[in-house]
Chains A and B, each alone.
Chain A
Amino acid sequence: MTSDTPLLSVRDLEISFRTGGRDIPVVRDLSFDLSAGETLGIVGESGCGKSITALSLIGLVPSPPGRVSKGQILLNGEDIVTAGEDRLTRIRGNEISMVFQEPMTSLNPVYTVGEQIAETARAHFGSSRAEAWDRAIEMLRLVGIPSPEQRAHNYPHQLSGGMRQRVMIAIALVCEPKVLIADEPTTALDVTVQAQIFDLFRELQHKISAAIILITHDIGVVAQMCDRVMVMYAGRKIEEGPVRSFIRDPRHPYTRGLISCIPKLSRDPSDTPEPLFEIPGVVPSPADLAELKGCAFAPRCNRAINECLLHSPALTALGPDRAVACLRQEEIPA
């Protein structure tokens, strides 16, 4: 389903935040492409720059103190970084939609959820009020909300967290965006509802060949949903590749750690499980990074050598569609 020209192309992106009188970069040297019909997973711990990257794609980096300080974000060849607010408003919803992490704060408390979905449908399709209302109810049904005719008249506070999240997803999907960015869209939901939501994402993809960026910490979700994966650490891309190689043959020690530290559901569990693999320590803060010369992961890495503390490794291609930023990747056994 993927075509050769990317729908979205991010080039040398740098996002900085101004604190204490200086610009601290939180995302650096980030480049990636997204084609129509493709699902790209972005994984990494909190504080690695995943969410702020997603916000930059729809021109929502909170400014001040934040700004895109370098690079381009090209949507069908048009640079979002330099686009005006009017143009951005048209792009948001029509071409790119986003599902945010917090369903509690992302809905308008003074409108019913039906009105909020219908409003989006009217703005996009120019439908009549009645048509838009019917469409809103249909969307609520699709995201698995029971008795949608009644629920459409509810205000956000009358719904559970899981239902609010589903309303958010309905708003994002109602105008059939070409690019859907979903930042931990199902983290607050039960697995049974999560499965329904992912079916909807797949439907959208089949129907209009939408591209999806899925930010998640759940490696199982990545395996089921994504074609390609990008791993971020401390504001940089440290590994990228097709989902199969990401899971079967991760090259960066951080990627390996992320995959081995999660308890995986087994059909045949042992009665005495081995302890989980641990990545010691925590993600460094952007301010600490500014002082760091070498690889940002080195202080937590069980394979780090002196060299790693001195030089920051560049992203190196490992083939047509894979890349990794680790000095020792060749020495790490498959």
Chain B
Amino acid sequence: MSEKPALSVSDLKVHFPVGGGKVVHAVDGISFDIPAGIAFGLVGESGSGKTTAAMACARLNDPTDGTIRLGGKDITHLDGDQMRQARRDIQVVFQDPYASLNPRERAGAIVRRPMDLMGIGTPKEREDRVDELFATVGLRAEQKALFPHQFSGGQRQRIGIARALATRPKLIVCDEPVSALDVAIQAQILNLLGRLKAELGLSYLFISHDLGVVQHLCDQIAVMYLGQIVEIGSRSEIFRRPMHPYTMALISAVPTLDAGMDAGMRLKGDPPSPISPPEGCRFAGRCQFAQDRCRQESPVLSGDPDGHKVACFRARDLEVVALREELTRVPA
């Protein structure tokens, strides 16, 4: 692994003051690397901080602490024109294809805009690039003249993807890019993202609450709970050998096509408040395996240095392992 990671995040914190001296610990000390050409998935329940973390990586909100390196370059404190130029390499595809396109601009101009802002190429080169991008994402060149409302949801997401590709970025942050789309359209967009990754050698930071989608697209996965990463590993490690009880609960809650696959593991209650996160392991209050130690000390993410890591004192204890075996048994 001599090549620099596409993105390297170290001890990232994003805190929001909410008045009265209170602070929301939305992202509370996360570290991960995204190697070049890899799709990296961040999963977790609403409020886990996954979107805040991803937006901080694109510097769309301000990190409170930690460093963000994009292709080896520290972008944590860049601003103004320097940050704009750095965004050549990192672009975002947003969740809502209706709200993220300017309704008064024609589709061609929307896709050209990042190149205009960053001063890339001559006007003629930009126009040619827009044609090329339309073809890449499966739109016709004559659709450049249309306005966003004249497209379907799936087509709008294609415009969003074309815009993100315009500056030839190395990394694209995808924030729930298919969750607003119908199932049939979702497959079209996921296949497009998969094809672009293979053809252009792109890396993705992919946010989704849908584990099926994440499993399909992402090579590496980090599971977030209340602002922290509780488990991280490759696709096969996370789904074949989940080690954190929270990861197991998430996987167990996904309805599958085989009746009787529901192992009946249920999480009670909601995550605690990110304003005053509890002492010790943040999941302890909802964890069926929690012991006294879990409520007093915070477990550290540990394991294989370049591979599967988990933040749980009990991950290797017999009863946790036994539940995992029950959950991950592949039906005959």
Contacts and interface: CB of A to CB of B under 8 A. Distances in A.
B322 to A, nearest CB: 16
Interface stretch (B11-19, B89-97, B141-149, B264-272): B264-272
Contacts of A257: 184
Contact of A265 (B47, B152, B215, B329): B215
B186 interface: yes
Interface stretch (A32-40, A172-180, A205-213, A272-280): A272-280
A76 interface: no
Interface residues of B, number: 49
Nearest to A47: B182
30 contacts: A45-B182, A144-B269, A146-B269, A191-B211, A192-B249, A194-B253, A217-B182, A219-B183, A221-B255, A223-B259, A243-B259, A244-B259, A247-B257, A258-B183, A261-B184, A262-B212, A263-B190, A264-B256, A264-B257, A266-B215, A267-B327, A267-B329, A267-B330, A269-B240, A273-B217, A275-B191, A276-B216, A279-B187, A282-B152, A282-B185
A224 interface: yes
A263 B254 contact: no
B32 interface: no
A5 interface: no
Interface in A214-246: 217-221, 223-225, 243-244
B192 to A, nearest CB: 10
By DSSP majority rule, is chain A's interface helix, strand, loop, or mixed? loop
B33 interface: no
A268 interface: yes
Which among A244, A259, A267 has the highest number of chain B CB atoms within 10 Å? A267
B33 to A, nearest CB: 19
B209 A265 contact: no
A265 B182 CA distance: 18
Contacts of A199: 266
B286 to A, nearest CB: 9
Interface in B287-332: 327-331
Interface string B258-282: 1100100011111000000000000
Interface string B217-253: 1010000000000000001100110000000011101
Interface of B: 45-47, 152, 154, 182-188, 190-191, 194-195, 209, 211-213, 215-217, 219, 235-236, 239-240, 249-251, 253-259, 262, 266-270, 327-331
Contact of A190 (B182, B209, B328): B209
A265 B251 contact: yes
Given A217-B183, A261-B186, A224 B255 contact: yes
Given A45-B182, A224-B262, 15 more contacts: A144-B269, A194-B253, A194-B255, A195-B255, A198-B255, A224-B255, A224-B256, A261-B186, A261-B187, A262-B212, A268-B240, A269-B215, A273-B216, A275-B195, A282-B154
Contacts of B253: 191-192, 194-195
Contacts of B250: 191-192
A286 to B, nearest CB: 15
A220 B216 contact: no
B222 to A, nearest CB: 16
Contacts of B195: 275
Contacts of A265: 211-212, 215, 239, 251, 254, 256
A219 B267 contact: no
A269 B266 contact: no
Top 3 A-B pairs, shortest CB-CB distance: A220-B255, A263-B216, A261-B187
Contact of B183 (A146, A244, A261): A261
Contacts of A223: 255-259
A162 interface: yes
Contacts of B185: 45, 282
A268 B261 CA distance: 14
Contacts of A220: 212, 254-257
A46 interface: yes
Contact of A278 (B188, B267, B327, B330): B188
A264 B212 contact: yes
Contacts of A86: none
A218 B187 CA distance: 13
Nearest to A199: B266
Contact of B187 (A195, A262, A266, A269): A262
A269 B235 contact: yes
A129 B236 CA distance: 55
Given A146-B269, A269-B215, A276 B187 contact: yes
Nearest to A259: B257
Contacts of A278: 184, 187-188, 191
Nearest to B181: A46
A191 B212 contact: no
A271 interface: yes
